[in-house]
């Protein structure tokens, strides 16, 4: 059955892949990558142009590095025409890239097939099984061993009985003296009892488990609360074998772009000359929150405005109309200082091609407020200022890099004035300001702190008027520096520093990197569920850190944020050592903290030492540092440090490194891992984790096709884990406990009977009862419980994430719980056998006839067994549905119907050899004493369970017990929910300046190589629609906090 189901899963995967691969599509907008990457051809080869004859004669030889998985590095040398030319990453186009801003490209294939970096980063598909599957296999072996032990005991008993007692019976069965060997009899009895007691080995368990998992998968597929209506995308369980493992997740590994964020930047607020724009004020001038009732600024007067931008502060437009020179200069700077490329589509609309969404947001904001960037050439930039076309002469472009964290343009306006416009990280730019900006600097700095406190990405804006003579001298030195070969970069950087000084501060911008709806709430709830979230992204460190703060994974309340950025093994080792010293040195003496971590000697689970760290810590590590750590002996120390931290952010990592991090935690921490992503670069990580989740986002369906579960939004992850995962684990554990108990109670009655039947391998029950017990009488009730049961409802599962903890600790079903179920089953079998046996020993019925015959005894025990296990499953059921009632009570009714049918005269007349128990049921079950015995047996079996559970709930209630009791009390009258007061998170300022930028784009612009000589070919006029999502704080307010507070006043809840 399992093989058939797995084959069915594989077939549907193949069918889905085949459907996607053969789908006909018309590409209107390519959403693979929103950030442009700069690539240059060698000057000696770019001269070949599009001349096919010259290209055909090209005979250069490339000597390069061996195939590897490093996406950000390439080293090679082209030998051609008796000269050698170095090749780096900027000269290489990787497989899977899409050309932008160029019509064609001729290339030389360096790596092909499995040697390409894309394929080098692809992971292998692995066969996934849950921890419960592995435990079940172990327990089945245990049970088989237990069966063998029972067979040996009964075989030894048979040999002893035959030797001491059996000789006295041989005269009645006409056996000759010496024909029966007691040892051989014991050998035969061993195999007979192996056959009789084989029902203790739960073969049907596997079939039932697959049916339950199939039901859980359909619940995920049918969940309307995980249906994304904007794209008509439901959640999908693409496998049916991993559902209960969703309730045991310890670590979540998440991609950033497209998973946590929409990768959409929106201009939200700004500070110009000490005044904040973007806030909304009431009639009394008090600041208020933006609501749906507030009218945004009307941009309809500007036919070239981007209709998707919403700005709610009318004062900025009023300042522009009044001609405020500082406001005009601020917007002029945004329209001039950037690397954006413009073009017109077929509908005549202005379209921007941006290197990073940050810049796109700023240029679009300037465009909507009347300062429209129109076009550029290598020497000029043309903008439209409030309806007037103005062309600026581009004199110099001071490009961005990771050290400078700023960019500048030097332009000459139509009046002949030379101006330097600069934007960059405030921490860097403020050091370059003229002393006269002190008061404005203080005010703007406060505004930046306020912006950052709201999770916005900040940027400082400044300018400088330049003297014509001074600029000419500086420009001559810059040309000389560019012409040199020795220390060229250092000399150019020095000249940039010289001219970017004595700047005049204009203000600051605040851009929102739009998170997916519900991300903050999801991260918060998963953290409360003790699930650690690691972000694995290919973005730069600053970008990843900003998103960490925006998602509340990083907070200013954290004790420390460790940054590992070493370029060598020694540097990484030292940074890890210092981080551990910092953490342990400050916290060795504390005993109660927020972060509990496991310290493992040699990273083995058999030597876990629990330690406590006071405070929350975070770890940020760069890709090159991670590569050094993973390839050396540092990885164990790094893993230990990372697992002590509340949040881990790995930036600039390759797809293969993502998979390696997942494997490291999975193999050395014995923890259940989940990886979630939306792009092809996440496929390896998704395949490596215990559970892979794909998001059907902007980057295609590669992640979805490789995943085990898929949906459209990151926020659905909390429902998948806290509701479906927890329920699946809870139901599966209950099912297994009951199934093992039922089998032991049913089978071990034969064992006790063996001591009273001369160990003759005589069965207690009728053969038909043995056949039908697991198939008919008890199969449906346990399936109903395994599919439908729930301890608390879905809303409370979300409101109390701490309910998730039992699954992480594997508390509901483990070897200890199995032994308890086994002991429970043994006790029930004792009650089932010895209470009827003792009651009917030398007893006569109401009619004076002897009723202690074998057939009556079998009927009484069978009837008691069916009723006892039905009562037990009724006690185990927490959530009653019509199906549960029908299956449980219907199974009892079915038992009696079949019992009286098989014991009837009619069926005996038809099949006398198959149904020998004629009339026994009618004779036995019509006597009151029989029913009293059945009642006594049922009470004796169930009362210890009822008493134990009552005392446990009364004296040591779990959180689930308390919430369930509160839930029942709330069914009659629910208190009104009060909204949570909105609070603003205080935060230190973090710069978010265009961190997706790459160095070299400015040089490309000034070279003119990316300028199109002719008008671009017509493109579709389809524009991206940005839907208005509810703010995270509103979503957070929708959830009640009074539930926890009022509940905790009545009951003591350990959270």
% of the chain residues with pLDDT over 70:
81
Position 899 pLDDT exceeds 60: yes
Name the band, by pLDDT with cuts 50, 70 and 90, for residue 1026: very low
| Ramachandran bin of 84, using left for φ above 0, alpha for ψ from -120 to 50, beta for the remaining angles | beta
Name the band, by pLDDT with cuts 50, 70 and 90, for residue 1: low
CB 416 within 8 A of CB 428: no
Mean pLDDT value across residues 916-920: 74
**Which two tokens mark 754?**
């063996």
Helix, strand or coil for residue 350? strand
Q: Which residues are catalytic?
A: 255
CB atoms within 10 A of CB 770: 17
Burial class (CB in 10 A: 0-12, 13-18, 19+), 447: buried
Looking at residue 914, what is its pLDDT?
77
| Residue 768 phi, psi dihedral angles, 5° rounding | -70, -35
Name the band, by pLDDT with cuts 50, 70 and 90, for residue 780: very high
| Residue 536 phi, psi dihedral angles, 5° rounding | -115, 110
Name the band, by pLDDT with cuts 50, 70 and 90, for residue 58: confident
Mean pLDDT of the chain: 81
E-strand ranges in 208-260 read 236-237, 251-254
Compute and round to an integer the Cα radius of gyration of the chain: 37
Position 722 pLDDT exceeds 50: yes
Strand partners, 288: 280
Per-residue pLDDT reduced to its tens digit, 202-260 = 888 888 999 999 999 999 999 999 999 988 899 999 988 899 999 999 999 998 766 78
Looking at residue 705, what is its pLDDT?
85
Distance CA 828, CA 942 (A): 9
How far is CA 569 from each of CA 572, 664, 1039, rounded to the nearest angstrom? 5, 18, 47
How far is CA 1026 from each of CA 102, 212, 233, rounded to the nearest angstrom? 27, 41, 17
Which residues fall within 8 angstroms of residue 335, CB to CB, at 6 or more apart? Answer: 363, 366, 367, 371, 372, 373, 383, 385
Looking at residue 998, what is its pLDDT?
61
The 3 state secondary structure assigned to 641-653 is HHHHCCEEEEECC
Distance CA 1015, CA 406 (A): 32
pLDDT: which is higher, 1044 or 791: 791
Mean pLDDT value across residues 50-58: 85
Distance CA 1009, CA 15 (A): 45
Q: If you average pLDDT over each of 160-174, 743-757, 1033-1047, which comes out highest?
A: 743-757
Position 411 pLDDT exceeds 80: yes
3-state helix, strand, coil in the chain (%, to 5): 50, 15, 35
Burial class (CB in 10 A: 0-12, 13-18, 19+), 927: middle
Position 49 pLDDT exceeds 50: yes
Distance CA 844, CA 851 (A): 6
Distance CA 36, CA 892 (A): 69
Position 570 pLDDT exceeds 70: yes
How far is CA 58 from each of CA 61, 82, 105, 112, 977, rounded to the nearest angstrom? 9, 13, 15, 20, 75
Distance CA 215, CA 718 (A): 20
Looking at residue 743, what is its pLDDT?
93
Distance CA 291, CA 271 (A): 22
Distance CA 444, CA 266 (A): 20
Position 155 pLDDT exceeds 90: yes
Quick one: which H or E segment has residue 342?
strand 341-344
Per-residue pLDDT reduced to its tens digit, 464-519 = 999 999 999 999 998 888 877 677 778 888 999 999 999 999 999 998 877 888 88
Q: Give this prediction's pTM.
A: 0.74
CB 461 within 8 A of CB 509: yes
Q: How far is C-alpha 330 from the geometric centre of its chain's CA atoms?
A: 42
CB 340 within 8 A of CB 373: yes
Mean pLDDT value across residues 676-683: 84
Mean pLDDT value across residues 813-820: 94
Looking at residue 917, what is its pLDDT?
73
Per-residue pLDDT reduced to its tens digit, 603-654 = 333 333 334 566 788 999 988 888 888 887 888 889 989 988 889 999 888 8
Looking at residue 498, what is its pLDDT?
92
The CB-side HSE value for 269 (13 A sphere, CA atoms) comes to 23
- Which of 261, 370, 353 lies closest to 311 in space, CA to CA? 370
Which residues fall within 8 angstroms of residue 576, CB to CB, at 6 or more apart? Answer: 564, 629, 634, 637, 638, 641
Looking at residue 26, what is its pLDDT?
52
Looking at residue 824, what is its pLDDT?
96
CB 835 within 8 A of CB 933: yes
Looking at residue 286, what is its pLDDT?
60
CB 739 within 8 A of CB 819: no
Dihedral of CA 785/786/791/794: which sign?
Answer: negative
Position 1027 pLDDT exceeds 50: no
Name the band, by pLDDT with cuts 50, 70 and 90, for residue 122: low
Q: What is the largest CA-CA distance in the chain?
A: 133
CB 861 within 8 A of CB 836: yes
The 3 state secondary structure assigned to 603-652 is HCHHHEEEEEECCCEEEEEEHHHHHHHHCCCCHHHHHHHHHHCCEEEEEC
Burial class (CB in 10 A: 0-12, 13-18, 19+), 41: middle
Per-residue pLDDT reduced to its tens digit, 553-568 = 888 788 888 999 888 8
């Amino acid at each position: 059955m399992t093989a058939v189901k797995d084959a069915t899963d594989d077939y549907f995967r193949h069918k889905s892949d085949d459907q996607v691969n053969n789908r006909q599509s018309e590409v209107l907008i390519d959403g693979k990558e929103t950030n442009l990457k700069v690539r240059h051809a060698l000057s000696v080869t770019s001269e070949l142009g599009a001349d096919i004859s010259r290209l055909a004669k090209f005979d250069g030889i490339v000597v390069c590095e061996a195939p590897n998985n490093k996406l950000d590095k390439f080293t090679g040398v082209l030998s051609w025409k008796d000269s050698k030319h170095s090749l780096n990453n900027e000269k290489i186009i990787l497989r899977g890239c899409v050309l932008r801003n160029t019509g064609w490209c001729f290339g030389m294939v360096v790596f092909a097939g499995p040697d390409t970096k894309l394929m080098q980063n692809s992971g292998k598909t692995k066969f996934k099984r849950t921890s419960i599957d592995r435990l079940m296999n172990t327990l089945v072996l245990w049970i088989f061993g237990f069966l063998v032990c029972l067979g040996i005991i009964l075989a030894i008993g048979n040999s002893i009985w035959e030797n001491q007692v059996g000789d006295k019976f041989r005269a009645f069965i006409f056996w000759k003296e010496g024909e029966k060997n007691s040892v051989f009899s014991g050998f035969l009895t061993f195999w007979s009892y192996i056959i009789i007691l084989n029902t203790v080995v739960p073969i049907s368990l596997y079939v039932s488990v697959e049916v339950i998992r199939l039901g859980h998968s359909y619940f995920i597929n049918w969940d309307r609360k995980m249906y994304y209506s904007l794209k008509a995308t439901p959640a999908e369980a693409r496998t049916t074998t991993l559902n209960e493992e969703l309730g045991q997740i310890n670590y979540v590994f998440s991609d950033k772009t497209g998973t946590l964020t929409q990768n959409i930047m929106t201009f939200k607020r700004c500070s110009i000359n000490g005044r904040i724009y973007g806030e909304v004020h009431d009639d009394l001038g008090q600041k208020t929150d933006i609501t749906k009732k507030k009218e945004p600024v009307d941009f309809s007067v500007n036919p070239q405005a981007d209709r998707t931008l919403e700005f709610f502060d009318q004062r900025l437009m009023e300042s522009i109309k009044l001609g405020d020179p500082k406001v005009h200069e601020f917007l002029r700077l945004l329209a001039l200082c950037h690397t954006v490329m413009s073009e017109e589509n077929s509908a005549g609309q202005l379209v921007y091609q941006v290197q990073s969404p940050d810049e796109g947001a700023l240029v679009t904001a300037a465009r909507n407020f009347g300062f429209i960037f129109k076009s550029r050439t290598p020497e000029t930039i043309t903008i439209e200022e409030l309806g007037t076309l103005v062309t600026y002469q581009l004199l110099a472009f001071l490009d961005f890099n990771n050290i400078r964290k700023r960019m500048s343009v030097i332009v000459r306006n139509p009046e002949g004035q030379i101006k330097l416009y600069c934007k960059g990280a405030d921490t860097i730019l403020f050091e370059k300001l003229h002393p006269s900006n002190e008061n404005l600097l203080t005010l703007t700095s406060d505004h930046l702190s306020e912006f950052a406190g709201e999770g916005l990405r900040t940027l400082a804006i400044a300018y400088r008027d330049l003297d014509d003579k001074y600029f000419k001298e500086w420009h001559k030195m810059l040309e000389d520096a560019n012409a040199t070969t020795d220390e060229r970069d250092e000399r150019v950087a020095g000249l940039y520093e010289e001219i970017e000084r004595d700047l005049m501060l204009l203000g600051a911008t605040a851009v929102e990197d739009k998170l997916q709806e519900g991300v903050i709430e999801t991260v918060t709830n998963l953290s409360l569920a003790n699930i650690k979230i690691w972000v694995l992204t290919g973005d730069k460190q600053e970008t990843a850190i900003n998103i960490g703060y925006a998602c509340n994974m990083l907070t200013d309340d954290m004790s420390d944020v460790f940054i590992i950025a070493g370029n060598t093994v020694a540097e990484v080792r030292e940074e890890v050592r210092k981080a551990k010293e910092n953490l342990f040195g400050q916290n060795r003496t504390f005993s109660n903290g927020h972060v509990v971590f496991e310290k493992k000697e040699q990273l083995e689970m058999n030597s876990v030492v629990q330690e406590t760290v006071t405070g929350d810590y975070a770890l940020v590590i760069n890709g090159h540092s991670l590569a050094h750590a993973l390839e050396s002996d540092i990885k164990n120390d790094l893993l230990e440090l990372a697992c002590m931290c509340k949040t881990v952010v790995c930036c600039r990592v390759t797809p293969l490194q993502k998979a390696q991090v997942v494997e490291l935690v999975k193999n050395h921490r014995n923890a259940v891992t989940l990886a979630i992503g939306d792009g092809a670069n996440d496929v390896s990580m998704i395949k490596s984790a215990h559970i892979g989740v794909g998001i059907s986002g902007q980057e295609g369906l590669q992640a979805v096709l490789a995943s085990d579960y898929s949906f459209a939004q990151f926020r659905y992850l909390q429902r998948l884990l806290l509701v479906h995962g927890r329920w699946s684990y809870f139901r599966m554990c209950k099912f297994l406990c009951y199934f093992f108990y039922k089998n032991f109670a049913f089978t071990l009655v034969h064992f006790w009977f063996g001591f009273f039947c001369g160990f003759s391998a005589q069965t207690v029950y009728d053969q038909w009862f043995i056949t039908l017990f697991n198939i008919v009488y008890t199969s449906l009730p346990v399936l109903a419980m395994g599919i439908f049961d729930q301890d608390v409802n879905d809303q409370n599962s979300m409101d109390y994430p701490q309910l998730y903890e039992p699954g992480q600790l594997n508390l509901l079903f483990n070897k200890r719980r199995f032994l308890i179920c086994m002991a429970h089953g043994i006790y029930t079998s004792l009650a089932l056998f010895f209470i009827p046996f003792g009651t009917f020993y030398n007893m006569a019925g109401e009619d004076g006839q002897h009723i202690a015959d074998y057939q009556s005894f079998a009927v009484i025990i069978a009837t008691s067994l069916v009723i006892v296990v039905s009562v037990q499953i009724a006690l185990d059921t927490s959530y009653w549905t019509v199906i549960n009632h029908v299956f449980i009570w219907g199974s009892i009714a079915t038992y009696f119907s079949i019992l009286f049918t098989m014991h009837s005269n009619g069926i005996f007349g038809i099949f006398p050899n198959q149904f020998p128990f004629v009339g026994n049921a009618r004779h036995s079950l019509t006597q009151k004493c029989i029913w009293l015995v059945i009642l006594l047996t049922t009470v004796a079996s169930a009362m210890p369970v009822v008493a134990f559970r009552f005392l446990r709930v009364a004296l040591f209630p779990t959180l689930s017990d308390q919430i369930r009791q509160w839930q029942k009390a709330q069914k009659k009258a629910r208190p009104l929910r009060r909204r949570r007061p909105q609070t603003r998170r205080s935060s230190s300022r973090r710069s978010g300046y265009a961190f997706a930028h790459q160095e070299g784009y400015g040089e490309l612009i000034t070279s003119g190589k990316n300028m199109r000589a002719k008008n671009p070919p017509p493109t579709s006029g389809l524009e991206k629609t940005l839907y208005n999502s509810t703010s995270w704080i509103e979503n957070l307010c929708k959830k009640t906090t009074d539930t926890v507070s009022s509940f905790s006043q009545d009951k003591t809840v350990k959270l």
